Structure formats: C-alpha cells, structure tokens
Amino acid sequence: MRVNNDNIRYTIQSYIRGILFILSCILFISVDTSAEQNTDTSSASSNNLQKAKNEQIRFGVRASVTFHEPFSHTGHYWNRYVTTGVHMDFPTYIPKMLIHFSVEAGMIDKKDETILDVKIFHSAISASYDFPIAINRLSIRPRIGLSNVIITTMKLKEFIDIDKELKIFNDVENEFGIVGGIDPVLKIKRFQISMPITGTMILSQPNYMITADISLTAGIVF
C-alpha cells in the first residue's frame, strides 16, 4: 500500500467510503440495541421468557491487543506490527447471533524504510454466532464481515490543523476489505477472555494487503 499525495479524486472517494462505513456501524448498533430492549420487555411477561433472556448473549466490551503478520506481497513491503484497541459485541434478534465491532491502532514499518512513522488504524464489523462447548464456560464464535484500514504519516498536530485545501487527506489512505475467522471465548460469570484468530484482506491498489491476525482480549458483559 502506498500513500498518494496528488490524487484528489481518490481522496474524496476515501472520505465518502469512511462515512459510509461509520453509518453502517451505527445502523448495526442501533438495530442490536433495539433487539436487546425488545427482549427485555417480552421477558418480563413470563418466567420461561425470563429464563431465556438470562441465557442470551448480552452487550460485551473487551480491551484488545492484536499481532498482525503480513503475507504474500504484503510481507515484502511491510513488517509485522501490533495494534491495540477495543472489541464490542452487540446482541441481535436471532438467538446466539451477535454483531462484533472492533477498532484498533498502532504503528507499522516499511521494510525499505522509504516511509517512516506510519500509523495504522484497523476497524471491522462482522456477524458471528456463538457455539457453546462447555455450557456457561467456553464457546466458539466464527465470524465474517467488513474491514477497514487507514494508513497515515500525519502527526497529531498536523491532523488537528486543517487548512482550506483539506491537506489532512493528502497523507491518508483509506481502504476496505473483508475479515473472517474464529473467536474462542472463555466466560467466567460476567468476565470474558478470548483469543480471536482471523485473516484480513484489504482490497487496496495496486496490490491487496493480506494479514493473519491473532488477538488477546479481556473484558466484561453487561
């Protein structure tokens, strides 16, 4: 992936894609929150529904650290790197199915050192399903969805100082792709530990960015 400083049309397209990605996340989250509220209301009508509600997956938030290993041509240009961030799970109307959202940030180095101080931001939204292995203790959650990667060489001071020519977008590359994998989750009451193993393919030009990713997350369920 290469940062482009001259293509204004690409800059506008990246900006629009970023807005659409954010809107899709908001839409998913709004639907899932509504689903959870609807479940709570219906559960109050009987003891059986109350029991079903308690067994459903609730909203969860986990801190995360992820190790990314570039593959194929991506590995020829970029070194392995680490990102940290937050993973969130939102319940849906379908029992045991949830929407997973993650956002992480880190630094990535180019092997030939032609580009220095490169910052990378990962975000993804995906659908997953909870397959219990040990009731109330361990489950497996396969998932697949949409991924977004932003690469920039800008410093925080430059990011805040937006000039009339929108220079902020000249040193930013924003690309979409797909993500899929499996997420083993260990549950201890409201506490959860997981180790998601995923693969990401970013549909960048002229070459795709492909990474194998393994994360460690820990957090709570509400």
Please name the CATH architecture into which domain 8-221 falls: Beta Barrel (2.40)
With 0-12 CB in 10 A as exposed, 13-18 as middle and 19+ as buried, what is 148? Answer: buried
Contact by Cβ (8 Å): 154, 107 = no
Summarised one tens digit per residue, pLDDT across range 131-153 is: 998 877 899 999 999 999 998 88
Distance CA(167)–CA(148), nearest Å, equals: 21
Mean pLDDT to the nearest integer, 107-134: 87
Quick one: pLDDT at residue 158? 56
Mean pLDDT to the nearest integer, 209-221: 94
More confident residue, 76 or 54: 76
Give the chain's radius of gyration (CA, Å): 20
- The phi and psi torsions of 174 (rounded to 5 degrees) equal -125, 120
Distance CA(89)–CA(14), nearest Å, equals: 27
Summarised one tens digit per residue, pLDDT across range 182-193 is: 999 999 888 999
- What helix, strand, coil percent values describe the chain, rounded to 5? 25, 50, 25
pLDDT band at 51 (very low <50, low <70, confident <90, very high): very low
